[in-house]
Structures are given as C-alpha cells and as structure tokens.
Amino acid sequence: MSVRNFLRFYLSSNREMRQAIKNIFGFYPGNIFLYKQAFRHKSASLNHKSGSRINNERLEYLGDAVLGVVVADYLFRRYPFENEGFLTEMRSKIVSRSSLNKLSNKLGLKNFMHFANADVSQMKSVGGDAFEAFVGALYLDKGYHFTRKIIIKRIVEVHFDLDQLVQSEISYKSKIIEWAQKSRKEYRFQVLSEKTIKNRKQFRVAVFIEDKMLAEAFDYTIKGAENLSAEKAWNVLSEV
C-alpha cells in the first residue's frame, strides 16, 4: 500500500468511527485516538516503547469510576428520600457487569472492537469492559460535565427503566455469574435430577464453582431452582 493509500484508509476508518460515535452517542469525538484505544481489547495490545502495553484496560479502570459517580449522583438527586442502601442497590443494578454487557450489545459497540481473534470477541464481559473504557475516553476527551450529560441523556434515561428496576428482584444467578467472571473462576449451573411429585415435575439444580458444588436447591422450574441455588451459594460466598 502506498503512503497515500495508507493515509486514505487510515483517515477513512477514523471518519467512520467519528460518525458512528455521533450516531450512537450524539457527539463528535475530539481526540479520536482515545476512543480507538477504548475499543482495543487486551488480546490485541500494541507495545509502547516504554515497555507498557496499549489496550483498553487503563481506560476501563478510569471509566468504571466515572460511570460510578455519574450514576451515584443521578440516583442521589432522583431519589431524595431513599436511604443509601436503596441507592447502592439501584446503582449496582445499572452498572453491574451483566447490565453493561447487555447495554453494550444493544449499542453495537463490539463492531468497533479490535480483538486478537474471533473467540475473544465471544467472551461475555468484553462488551461491558468496552463501554466502561469508552466512558473513560470520553471523560479524558471532553471532561466531567460533558460526560455526565451524555451518560444521563443518552444512556440512563434512554436505556434504563428506573421504575421497573426498582421493582426488579436482584437476580442471584447473575450475581454468581458476575462474581465468577470477576474472580476468573469457572462456574456452572447443572440440573442434577428431576422427579415428578403429584404430577408436577420438580428440578434439582446445583451451582458449581471450579467443579466444587457450592449449593443446591429444588423448584418446579429450572429457572426457579437455579435462582434458589444461586441465592444459597451467594450466602455461602458472603458468609465467611
């Protein structure tokens, strides 16, 4: 490729990302390189002359904190008479890994990402990580107030139904999954047996972490038994 063609390709890919960010989030990025870094998974790290590796992990660390304060602030003002237990729980419903993964899929952020290979792109948490890294890039690029406005107007108020979130039970299954992903442990929910009692099927489900059974539970649906067993397992994890 000639230098001119390379430049043309390079600039057009930048232009594409600028336009995509405008379409999704409603603003044109200033420093596009920050956003490019936000969408670079660690599997596709570049090497910096300092010896450090360039990928989105540092931006994710920053964005996680920025997202935390913006959502904390928003809920603080929106619910002036609720206590901090309520606020903390609502916040974790919004910024939980599973919630951010879903959000990221909805926004189609994976389309911009650089991975080492397709397998990596299938890992569940890359979407949420990329969204956090994007928030970190936005904060560095445009500052706190702008970031806050974008997160509230284009994310929280558009993609989250707070009244419904207030009602929603905490899913212990997703808590377990989130914990396992964070701690990089293998987990599985397994139907151990089913039997029919008075014409109703009953399922016995167990939660395994790294092949060790943490808890089991019975219910008339697999989903119910999963969540009950997850709740027991969660209590075990929180106990000691």
Report the catalytic residues: 64, 132
Per the DSSP assignment, residues forming a β-bridge with 140 are none
CB of 226 to its own copies, least distance (A): 19
* Residue choice 21, 57, 189, 229 for contact with its own copies (CB under 8 A): 57
CA–chain centroid gap for 38, Å, is: 14
Restricted to residues 97-136, the positions that interact with its own copies (CB under 8 A) are none
Stretch that binds its own copies, among 106-114, 150-158, 188-196, 207-215 (CB under 8 A): 207-215
Cα separation, 121 vs 142, in Å, equals: 28
Stretch that binds its own copies, among 4-12, 30-38, 197-205, 232-240 (CB under 8 A): 232-240
Stretch that binds its own copies, among 32-40, 76-84, 119-127, 160-168 (CB under 8 A): 76-84
Other beta carbons less than 10 A from residue 14's beta carbon: 15
| Count of residues touching its own copies (by CB under 8 A) | 37
Beta strands in the chain (DSSP E): 46-47, 53-54, 187-197, 200-209, 212-219
Given the DSSP bridges, would you call strands 187-197 and 200-209 parallel, antiparallel or unpaired? Answer: antiparallel
Other beta carbons less than 10 A from residue 94's beta carbon: 21
Taking CB under 8 A as the rule, does residue 47 contact its own copies? Answer: no
* Residue choice 69, 116, 165, 166 for contact with its own copies (CB under 8 A): 69
First-to-last alpha carbon distance for the chain, in angstroms, is 60
Helix (H, G, I), strand (E, B) or coil at 5: helix
Cα separation, 70 vs 83, in Å, equals: 18
Structure letter (DSSP) for residue 108? T
Taking CB under 8 A as the rule, does residue 213 contact its own copies? Answer: no
Lookup result for tokens 């397709």: 118
* Residue choice 8, 15, 22, 53 for contact with its own copies (CB under 8 A): 53
Q: Going residue by residue from 129 to 168, which x/- string records binding to its own copies, judged by CB under 8 A?
A: ----------x----xx--x--------------------
Residues within the interface to its own copies (CB under 8 A):
48, 50-53, 57-58, 60-62, 64-66, 68-69, 72-73, 76, 81-84, 87-88, 139, 144-145, 148, 183, 209-210, 212, 214, 236-238, 240
